[in-house]
Structure 1
């Protein structure tokens, strides 16, 4: 680090993780906990409920594409900071008006600016221990795992019980609480962006990314985007179909978040050893198993095992592609490559929630959609297993 960037790298990583907590944990996955109350209070179909996450994903597409263009002119630190601030504000706004158009607008904006922060956080974290592969892999895993995992623990421990006590009509307060917690994370996140080691700017005349040789990795990540979001959008709705109590919902989500937070410790060795598609293939297989278990084993023990398996894998998919990028490409290409992976992921996850909601409406149960998501993830795992090191 140079003289202006002598901050403790673990503290910088903590600030970057808070950015992921806001933009990936609260902005995208808290919706799955609030969804059953919103759907009951506003009389939505599953397709309408899924549409809001599709609107979020559409914003994510635009944000990921915009990040790729903006990185030609600006460093990732400024984009991370702008995305964090606007995402936090969008979560507060979500709780103000119940109209579907308003909800769609702010879910879109949360996706747009969330992608800015998420696409750049990995590039910033990858520079903290650039010459230490094991610590680097652990840091990237902590970035995505602990940030998102803690958001799910906090939301899972409070929102289901609060909504059960206050009633479905209290869902706006859930968004205001989530938004308020997000605003508290902003100062440290902004400081971390300022103190993170600078990422070399990509030269416009530099060789293009070897896209053809990276196709299996892109295809696997697309399968991740299409399949994983079904579980996190509709898990609580499935549990409500099974007459689960608010306490059971809270237990499952807290376990899910705790396992997400601990998952970097399970995967750091795999990421450090392999520069191929094997880590992502293993991650996708685990997510697929976790997604199917609630339907195949629809009891509380089954849901607990499902949450533990799914949580131990799900946020390691971004870590897998970030480590693949770091191990196979020059550092000046990291930001652009991660933004491109995020764009592929965003396009895929746009389809998932709405299609799953329509499938659930048609079948009369959202469990069918969970199984479909699991099948997509297994296909993605099979494809990405063919990815060779570059």
Structure 2
């Protein structure tokens, strides 16, 4: 087995893990939401609470990931999380009771953390240990493909299957994805060195940088969760775009699939923070276009801008975390995701309540999300100054030590 083929298998394992835990276990809910409202009696506010409960599970998983140092334990929990992802998917079709759905969404949140944080951390650690470029654009194709694939699957199944049968089909897909996910990701190497013998050393950011970084990521989390959770329902509720919700979700996924690779290339030229600022501004535009225009073309452009930016921001942030902590990348990833996860609990619940008071419309949530993201963009701009100060201080300290 060549090193190149090993790398391909590890990347495919990571992609399938994201397709399973983040794509099927998490994102199948979004295109199925309108159908569950029509056929299963799911209310508007209850739908928002299910999304919030999902992120409570996500936040719980992030808290756990941020406290674990052992690569072997992370690997074990990742594999358990993939099994849980399959179980949470089948639960959605086994009952029409809201409490069962809530339990399913909570453990699906736990499993999505396993796929996104533990899986990403394990893949990134393997790449860095084997002297490959520490960019995760290829890996995060799994998120975009998961979004597009789930929406396309629902669009194909809607004419012939009810909501319950569709959840069972997704369970079968999840079981198939489980095979390469568990079979092709090797156990982690805990030697602390790369294959060429170079020591892997952590280089953490300053406390001030980390605090602001987490605040900016919180804002990004609000912007992400409102659109990703409710975009299908939002588009379907607009008179001029009724029936195009699934198409919008497919556009989000298609734009997201190659986005991380694109943002890796942009970050190489501009730097990570500049790339994050550009992505944030474009995402604000993408969030607001469905609220500003009833035109199908503008709504789809908004979906493309949103899909092409939110996943890029996640990829850039988690890759930066991995570079700061190459020996334990999931540790800082977990801390960053705590702030992202808190936002994802608050955002859907507020949006659901706003919709309840505004006759079922989710549009007000878009304006709230965009406003919070403006604040996040300003924080990212401020981070550039903190980064310059930290570099200057580090240089001065190094020169002082040499003297």
For residue 283 of structure 1, what is the aligned residue in structure 2?
Answer: 279
1:218 to 214, 235, 240: 214
For residue 306 of structure 2, what is the aligned residue in structure 1?
Answer: 310
| Shift in CA distance, 134/66, structure 1 to aligned 2, threshold 3 Å | closer
Once the two structures are TM-superposed, the CA of residue 22 in structure 1 deviates from its matched residue by 1.6
Larger Cα-atom Rg: 2
Structure 2 CA distance, aligned partners of 1:75 and 1:7?
26
Structure 1 CA distance, aligned partners of 2:272 and 2:71?
31
Indicate if the aligned counterparts of 2:254 and 2:307 stay in contact, CA closer than 8 A.
yes
Once the two structures are TM-superposed, the CA of residue 357 in structure 1 deviates from its matched residue by 0.9
For residue 336 of structure 1, what is the aligned residue in structure 2?
Answer: 331
* Alignment partner of 1:96 is 2:94: yes
For residue 266 of structure 2, what is the aligned residue in structure 1?
Answer: 270
| Shift in CA distance, 172/71, structure 1 to aligned 2, threshold 3 Å | farther
* Alignment partner of 1:181 is 2:173: yes
Structure 1 CA distance, aligned partners of 2:377 and 2:205?
23
How many aligned positions are there?
Answer: 376
Structure 2 CA distance, aligned partners of 1:221 and 1:134?
27
Structure 1 CA distance, aligned partners of 2:253 and 2:308?
9
Structure 1 CA distance, aligned partners of 2:204 and 2:309?
31
Secondary structure, in 3 states, of the residue corresponding to 1:309?
helix
For residue 357 of structure 1, what is the aligned residue in structure 2?
Answer: 352
The CA deviation string for residues 131-158 of structure 1, in whole angstroms up to 9 with x for no partner, is 8999432xx12222x1011112222212
Structure 1 segments of 4 or more deviating over 6 A?
Answer: 3-6, 131-134, 206-209
| Shift in CA distance, 149/219, structure 1 to aligned 2, threshold 3 Å | same
**Which runs of 5 or more structure 2 residues have no equivalent in the other structure?**
194-201, 391-403
1:124 to 108, 116, 122: 122
Once the two structures are TM-superposed, the CA of residue 351 in structure 1 deviates from its matched residue by 0.6
**Which runs of 5 or more structure 1 residues have no equivalent in the other structure?**
none
For residue 84 of structure 1, what is the aligned residue in structure 2?
Answer: 82
Indicate if the aligned counterparts of 1:227 and 1:349 stay in contact, CA closer than 8 A.
no
1:234 to 230, 251, 269: 230
For residue 147 of structure 2, what is the aligned residue in structure 1?
Answer: 152
Please, what TM-score do these two structures have when normalized by structure 1? Answer: 0.88
C-alpha RMSD of matched pairs (Å): 2.7
Indicate if the aligned counterparts of 1:220 and 1:281 stay in contact, CA closer than 8 A.
no
Structure 2 CA distance, aligned partners of 1:338 and 1:54?
21
| Shift in CA distance, 192/284, structure 1 to aligned 2, threshold 3 Å | farther
Deviates more, 1:89-98 or 1:261-270: 261-270
Once the two structures are TM-superposed, the CA of residue 325 in structure 1 deviates from its matched residue by 1.9
Once the two structures are TM-superposed, the CA of residue 270 in structure 1 deviates from its matched residue by 2.6
For residue 164 of structure 2, what is the aligned residue in structure 1?
Answer: 172
Once the two structures are TM-superposed, the CA of residue 69 in structure 1 deviates from its matched residue by 2.9
| Shift in CA distance, 269/44, structure 1 to aligned 2, threshold 3 Å | same
